[in-house]
């Protein structure tokens, strides 16, 4: 589904955030992206989302070169991808329902579609009954569930989560990992960057480790560190 070939990203300040990264991710995979701060994890997800263009290299999504997309094609491409962030990024003045609906409105969905799909997405993340609450009235775990609902409401083929449990206590983090696994089992490919060593060690998914912009390990069922195999 996703192929990166020799992707290098040098920022204008000359920092080389990605250094000759090549990897393939297949439909339905669950991939952990690990590595120390500054290793290039966020840059990699931004390149995949086409928020950053690589300095060199190619990125193919379902065989199509995403670096050549222009204007509206970029927006259409991004609709296939859901994004979840460590800090939730919800709109504070909007209700739970409105936050999720917003993702559909910007892609031109009508009222009927919104009134069908938003409750469906909220049910998938276990937030029935919270539609009219504001983000500030929810726990951190619930706020992250809203952001997951917003990410999946357009039924993306790929979900990218950048340290989604970084702000949550361990029990809540585990509950969210259950949810991510369910979403993956229902067919959505997931790329998740994380520092949560216990989670990575326990779940034994594919692990791609970055260091100083390079892939230093790509392991089928791996732990957080190489020693843990």
2, 7, 17, 183: which one contacts ligand ADP (CB under 6 A)?
17
Going by C-alpha positions, the residue among 176, 222, 175 that lies closest to residue 197 is 222
User: What is the distance between the alpha carbons of residues 221 and 229, in angstroms, rounded to a whole number?
Assistant: 9
Q: Which is nearer to ligand ADP, 40 or 135 (CB)?
A: 40
Alpha-carbon span 58 to 6, nearest angstrom? 7
Q: Which stretch binds ligand ADP (CB under 6 A): 10-18, 65-73, 142-150, 151-159?
A: 10-18
Q: Considering the rule CB under 6 A, would residue 48 count as an interface residue with ligand ADP? A: no
Does residue number 11 form part of the binding site for ligand ADP (CB under 6 A)? yes
28 binds ligand ADP (CB under 6 A): no
Residue of 7, 39, 168, 191 interacting with ligand ADP (CB under 6 A) = 39
- One residue of 4, 40, 85, 150 binding ligand ADP per CB under 6 A: 40
Task: Decide whether 43 or 147 has the Cβ nearer to ligand ADP.
Answer: 43
Note whether 223 and 201 are within 8 A (CB). Answer: yes
Torsion of CA 37, 13, 218, 150, to 10 degrees: 70
Measured from the CB atom, the residue of 130 and 214 that comes closer to ligand ADP is: 214
Q: With respect to ligand ADP, which residue has the nearer C-beta, 32 or 97? A: 32
Q: Are 94 and 106 in contact (CB under 8 A)?
A: no
Sheet holding 56-61, edge to edge: 16-25, 2-10, 56-61, 64-65
**One of 19, 31, 43, 124 touching ligand ADP (CB under 6 A):** 43
Residue 99 is a binding residue for ligand ADP (CB under 6 A): no
3-state SS record for 35-104: CCCCCCHHHHHHHHCCCCCCCEEEEEECCEEHHHCCCHHHHHHHCCEEEEECCCCCCCCCCHHHHHHHHH
Phi, psi of 33 (to 5 degrees): -110, 115
Query: Looking at beta carbons only, is 4 or 17 nearer to ligand ADP?
Result: 17
- Which of 7, 34, 42, 104 binds ligand ADP (CB under 6 A)? It is 42
Q: Which stretches of the chain bind ligand ADP, using CB under 6 A?
A: 11, 13, 15, 17, 35, 37-43
């Amino acid at each position: 589904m996703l192929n990166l070939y020799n992707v290098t990203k040098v920022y204008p300040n000359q920092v080389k955030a990605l250094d000759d990264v090549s990897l393939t991710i297949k439909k339905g995979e669950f991939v952990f992206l690990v590595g120390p701060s500054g290793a290039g994890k966020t840059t990699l997800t931004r390149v995949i989302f086409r928020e950053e263009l690589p300095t060199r290299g190619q990125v193919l999504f379902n065989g199509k070169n995403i670096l050549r997309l222009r204007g509206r094609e970029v927006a259409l491409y991004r609709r296939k991808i859901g994004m979840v962030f460590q800090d939730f990024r919800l709109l504070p003045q909007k209700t739970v329902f409105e936050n999720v609906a917003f993702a559909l409105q910007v892609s031109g969905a009508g009222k009927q579609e919104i009134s069908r799909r938003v409750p469906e997405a909220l049910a998938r993340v276990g937030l029935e009954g919270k539609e009219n609450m504001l983000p500030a009235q929810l726990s951190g775990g619930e706020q992250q569930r809203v952001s997951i609902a917003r990410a999946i409401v357009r039924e993306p083929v790929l979900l990218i989560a950048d340290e989604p449990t970084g702000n949550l206590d361990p029990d809540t983090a585990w509950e969210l990992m259950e949810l991510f696994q369910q979403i993956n089992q229902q067919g959505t490919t997931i790329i998740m960057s994380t520092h949560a060593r216990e989670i990575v060690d326990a779940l034994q998914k594919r692990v791609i480790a970055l260091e100083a912009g390079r892939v230093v390990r790509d392991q089928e069922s791996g732990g957080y560190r190489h020693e843990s195999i």
